[in-house]
Amino acid sequence: MYKKLLAESPRLSREELIKYAGELGLDVGRFTSDLDSGRYKKQIKEDRLLALRNGIFSTPTYFINGRKVVGERSYEYMKNILDEELINAR
């Protein structure tokens, strides 16, 4: 589902979320019930606060040894960062 949400962002209304659940073959009844119940509201609020505290305003955002990497990056880009951090860790 997360890939679908990233691809469709910012089109994330309730109706669209339910449509995406159906497109992905999820149990739409259960999905809708969970969405409307507020069952995960506390966890979502905690996750949002954590993101704000860490200066995360877009997805994806990665931290590699405290180094912030924002946005979808190529394999080579990520490999270079990892290699640099491995060298610096020695």
**In this predicted model, what pLDDT tens digit does every residue of 1-52 receive, in sequence order?**
778 887 777 778 999 999 999 999 999 999 999 999 998 999 999 999 999 9
**CB contact set of 28 (below 8 Å; sequence gap of 6+):** 18, 21, 22
Q: Tens digit of pLDDT for each residue in 58-76?
A: 888 999 999 999 988 999 9
**pTM for the predicted model, two decimal places:** 0.61
Cβ proximity of 31 and 25 under 8 Å: no
